[in-house]
Chain A
């Protein structure tokens, strides 16, 4: 019945006045968003248009029309598009096999686990494995085929590495959509005389098109923002924007040029964000409720097709497993490709030399995790359930740092917090703030998604039974959104352990990070230590995710998304 929203700002403002706790929370959140989202971006923009106290676009044009930088821009778009297409195709194949393959539960679980690996790994992992396999002394190029002087660096290796790293995003986006398509619809088409292939072409695929578009955009954005992989693999011949911006700042100490390049990155990132949010999201035919349909999935595949798809997916899975096995092996031998005798020296190195990085990373993660989790459910709850002025704006602003490539956020923080009035560079606070506002939004989305499945009548039932609004939040709403809190915790933790694109601009002598240490190791060619660090991060993340999932399992959560599925966007 008429559950249309009741009137406009009049009612909303009145709600704020009646509920002081709500008013205080809203003001505090806005202060945080203004300081750590809007202010840095404003400063970044100001740096672009103001030169030595004058409004000027000079110099900006020069760097943006520089042939080398135009090439980087084109390369970024090309790489993003290729990663988008290939990753989506591979992700679709995996999703299709998992949703329709009628595979035993164990096999699907194994696929899930291996697909999860790239998502929770520190950056450079596949890049390191690529160098081990295809580098100058690579196991495959040199060891197996004896090719000398093979160049691993360039578009193809970067593409392969990114596609392998990011296709799980497409898998996680598409699988619930394919699983949620009502098998009766496909059965109906079949009963009307369509062949399996025709059903796929005319029913299944069209229903999945919005999901496919979404997956492509997510992959495009991920590749566009990826800093670590091209830094290692792209080489000089294939410059891309994030690495160019980084080199402009760290190599040439040209903050303004770096800002300009990151700004060039902003345009396509924004286009993708807008397309995804306002176009794709309105074209979803399938509602993913998290509830299984409870019907046998439609039998989409003939035996040969099934065999072929399964084979392809198995090959990709094997490649992932091979890469990680290689990483583990490399961390346990003196020098992969040269001396294969067993040693624990690399682990000794990371726990002595790298001890500070490990400690710093864990301390920062320990602070960012609860703050990010809390921030996520607070904003999510307010946006989904409360009425106050600027509600829509809060939702939008809270998503900004999440949607932007890390390079932009990092450079914006660097510009904003390097000079008075707020000097935060060199502190842990700036890194913690970056994680909270950049990765906390996962918790916001999870909370909103969860609350959209919690009928408001549950809260009304509680009110009707005599509980006030505070009691209702504590006894009914909070337990129901607890899974979103833990999901937020999990994602902030994973990202705290694995992020680099933004934070590489924010580290200092006082505070450094494991990921930065891995990068140093790679540039010093201590690949063994880099591998040991990566293995360490993967193990820690797996353990923490296990603990959090267990905690989540204690709460009954109809439709709560598993952490892994939140890593996608």
Chain B
């Protein structure tokens, strides 16, 4: 089922809506995306950030007020959805309740005038591909959530679309099934090598499936990069807090040398590697410490950059979460569980070492 993957370009696209209270609001504002052929791109953000509106404009369900959308060399900005040759998977699956599984999947083929025998063959093949062989005559109300999701997927890919679009496809499934389905979607996308844009508000899901993630907030793109990039080098406080868990500590720049900054934070001086926009001594900044970047050591250990008191412990099996009060500042610390003897009791004073490269700096005025 290989297709020639296309490049998708979204260029300065905006969409305004009339809002009952706020008047005219931007659902998407000057959004620019460049999706490479065969790339799996995820739009990630909280609800209302404009990710679904952007996806719906790519699909042709909404028309942008400004900007252009191109599939390869073709400008599709004004083209209706039925002229774009896309595969769309909806959050609620949108299976036609009056049609059987086979007829749902066949729908796009029939619209394209494919001969009956050929339709039957393709429907069987694609249902086989998504693991639903034998479900042809079922109706959507007889299927489980996961099965409905697979039918929606089959219906989207059977037409060999130029582009596959997903709108929060897993949010109606339970946690275990969600993990399984996202692996299946990723595997299928790799096999078909089809350009894909995927919308979710779940950062873990985004990290699991995507080649690249675009984080959106309040209608705008705020950062764009691989999962590792966004996690380790967030450029805004929003991204730092939205992706993964984080300790954000108010700090002040004391000194800068090439590639490193000395910060005053938590009543001591810490040296952190930094290559972002220039900081001057006296500037305010945030020290970004992921919970796993802090290592619990003995209080008198020479590696201990910080000292604190364990105030709470949450046992989660493979890992253990601690709350450590460092002066006035509570910190989250996560530690891999390496055995029953390894647990630190609450009340104990401990030292915290900061792994090299694990800290990051965000410029900005602390509140």
> What residues make up the interface of A, taking CB atoms closer than 8 Å to B?
1-2, 4-8, 455, 457-458, 460-468, 471-472, 475-476, 479-480, 555-556, 558
Contacts and interface: CB of A to CB of B under 8 A. Distances in A.
B59 A464 contact: yes
A388 B90 CA distance: 27
A465 B96 contact: no
Contacts of B290: none
Contact of B94 (A461, A468, A475): A461
A149 B94 CA distance: 68
Nearest to A2: B27
A2 B52 CA distance: 8
Most chain B CB within 10 A, of A8, A466, A475, A476, is at A466
Nearest to B62: A6
Given A2-B27, A457-B90, A464-B61, 16 more contacts: A1-B27, A1-B52, A2-B50, A7-B17, A7-B18, A457-B94, A463-B80, A463-B82, A465-B111, A466-B82, A466-B83, A466-B159, A472-B82, A479-B98, A480-B98, A556-B97
A479 B97 CA distance: 10
Interface string B88-101: 10111010111000
Interface in B27-68: 27, 47-48, 50-53, 59-62
B178 to A, nearest CB: 20
Contacts of A480: 97-98
A189 to B, nearest CB: 28
A464 to B, nearest CB: 4
Interface string B248-263: 0000000000000000
B86 A464 contact: yes
Nearest to B104: A461
B92 A6 contact: no
* Residue picked from B19, B50, B59, B61, most chain A C-beta under 10 Å: B61
B266 to A, nearest CB: 40
6 contacts: A4-B19, A458-B94, A460-B61, A464-B88, A466-B159, A467-B107
Interface string B312-350: 000000000000000000000000000000000000000
Given A457-B92, A463-B82, A464-B81, A1 B97 contact: no
B85 interface: yes
B18 A5 contact: yes
B108 interface: yes
Contacts of B20: 4
A381 to B, nearest CB: 16
Contacts of A464: 59-61, 81-82, 84, 86-88, 156
A4 B155 CA distance: 28
A466 B111 contact: yes
B107 A455 contact: no
A472 B108 CA distance: 11
Interface in B186-234: none
Interface residues of B, number: 42
Residue in B18, B59, B159 with the greatest tally of chain A CB atoms within 10 Å: B18
Contact of B85 (A1, A5, A466, A475): A466
B88 A461 contact: yes
A455 B98 contact: no
Nearest to A465: B108
A377 to B, nearest CB: 15
A5 B92 CA distance: 20
Nearest to B139: A556
B83 to A, nearest CB: 8
Q: Which 9 A-B pairs have the closest CB atoms?
A: A465-B108, A457-B94, A463-B81, A1-B52, A2-B27, A461-B94, A464-B88, A4-B17, A479-B98
Interface string B135-176: 000010100000000000001100100000000000000000
Contacts of B268: none
A465 B17 contact: no
Contacts of B92: 455, 457
A555 B19 CA distance: 38
B18 A8 contact: yes
A457 B62 CA distance: 12
Nearest to B61: A460
Nearest to B201: A1
Given A457-B92, A480-B97, A463 B61 contact: yes
Given A464-B87, A466-B82, A466-B159, A556 B98 contact: yes
Contacts of A460: 59, 61, 81, 88, 90, 94
Nearest to A555: B98
Interface in B1-42: 16-20, 25, 27
Contacts of B27: 1-2
B82 A461 contact: no
A463 B159 CA distance: 13
- Greatest chain B CB density within 10 A among A5, A8, A458, A465 is at A465
Given A6-B18, A556-B97, A466 B61 contact: no
Contacts of A476: 96
Contact of A1 (B16, B48, B59, B155): B48
Contacts of B96: 458, 461-462, 476
A208 to B, nearest CB: 29
A6 B107 contact: no
Nearest to A6: B17
A4 B19 CA distance: 7
Contacts of A5: 17-18
B107 A462 contact: yes
Contact of B48 (A2, A458, A462, A555): A2
A458 B108 CA distance: 13
Contacts of B97: 480, 556, 558
Contact of B108 (A7, A8, A466): A466
Contacts of A8: 18
Nearest to A468: B82
A6 B94 CA distance: 22
Contacts of B159: 465-466
A4 B85 CA distance: 26
A8 B19 CA distance: 11
B99 to A, nearest CB: 8
Contacts of A479: 98
A187 B141 CA distance: 28
A1 B50 CA distance: 8
B86 A1 contact: no
Contacts of A4: 17-20
Contacts of B59: 460, 464
